[in-house]
């Protein structure tokens, strides 16, 4: 089975968010895909198989299957193009989050994702303690994918965040998005933690921007953004609100490809 390792949301190797992409010629069991994801030991391993005129796409962390993954989808679109399996400028996917699409735009690939806006809600005290946040966020809320969003005000506060790793990993929460206004040229900055999925900090998270875009759209009164995710690897995303969809664009770099031997 052919596989790729691709750095997503970056234009240079060993930055952005790495994903493994497995091109399936036949169906695999969920258990086998989960085992392969543990073997790859990246934040996400994507499995893609042709399904009529589209592609069936699933994503696994080393711990669980997830319903939506931006960098895994971006990497999959690049892998299909590299393998010569896509003609034209657009590819369609069927996923646990419904129909998704990716459009090739020169060096960029634009994802068509559902908008997942957060609703205001008081954040559990355990989150603030684990993140070591002394100041109260200026806004907190949660969306339908159970991602908590905390606006801490500034990019400097986001970058300076130093969570308690052990305490964070004890939280039974699939996503914690910490965000603040961006430093030029970025409209907003974020970091993302996914303890329930077995991930302390995710380097660059497309699915988080399906929540960040509608939130910052309300705050800034605009629909087009350039965003930065301030992990140690870092990543740049172009984000656009389009009704009940969010368009998320990024660049990719292929860092490895090979054959995976399936028993």
The reply to whether omega before 116 is within 30° of 0 (cis) is no
Three-class HEC string of the chain: CEEEEEEECCCCCCCCEEEEEEECCCCCCHHHHHHHHHHHCCCCEEEEEEECCEEEEEEECCCCEECCCHHHHHHHHHHHHHCCCCCCCEEEEEECCEEEEEEEECCEEEEEEECCCCEECCCCHHHHHHHCCCCCCCEEEECCCCEEEEEEEEHHHHHHCCCCHHHHHCCCCCEEEEEEECCCCCCEEEEEEEHHHCEEEECCCHHHHHHHHHHHHHHHCCCEEEEEECCCCCEEEEEEEECCEEEEEECEEEEEEEECCCC
What's the CA gap between 77 and 252, in Å, rounded? 10
β 98-105/175-181 pair status: unpaired
Query: Which residues form the catalytic set?
Result: 44
Q: Which residues pair with 60 in a beta bridge?
A: 45, 65
Quick one: how far is CA 160 from the chain centroid? Answer: 21
């Amino acid at each position: 089975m052919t596989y790729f390792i691709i750095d997503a949301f970056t234009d240079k190797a060993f930055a952005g968010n790495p994903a493994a992409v497995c091109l399936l010629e036949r169906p695999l069991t969920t258990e086998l895909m989960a085992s392969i994801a543990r073997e790859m030991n990246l934040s996400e391993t994507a499995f893609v198989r042709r399904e009529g005129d589209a592609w069936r796409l699933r994503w696994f962390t080393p711990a669980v299957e997830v319903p939506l993954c931006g960098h895994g989808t971006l990497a999959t679109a690049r892998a299909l193009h590299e393998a010569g399996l896509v003609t034209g400028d657009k590819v369609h996917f069927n996923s646990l989050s419904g129909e998704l699409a990716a459009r090739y735009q020169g060096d960029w690939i634009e994802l068509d994702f559902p908008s997942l806006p957060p609703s205001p809600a008081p954040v559990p005290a355990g989150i603030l303690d684990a993140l070591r946040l002394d100041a109260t966020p200026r806004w907190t809320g949660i969306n339908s994918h159970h991602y908590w969003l905390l606006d801490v005000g500034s990019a400097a506060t986001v970058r300076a965040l130093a969570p308690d790793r052990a305490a964070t990993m004890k939280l039974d929460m699939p996503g914690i998005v910490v965000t603040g206004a961006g430093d030029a040229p970025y409209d907003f900055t974020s970091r993302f933690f996914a303890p329930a999925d077995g991930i302390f900090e995710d380097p660059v998270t497309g699915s988080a921007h399906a929540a960040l875009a509608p939130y910052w759209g309300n705050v800034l009164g605009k629909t087009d953004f350039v965003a930065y995710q301030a992990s140690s690897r870092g990543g740049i995303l172009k984000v656009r609100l389009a009704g009940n969809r969010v368009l998320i664009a990024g660049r990719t770099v292929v860092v490895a490809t090979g054959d995976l031997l399936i028993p």
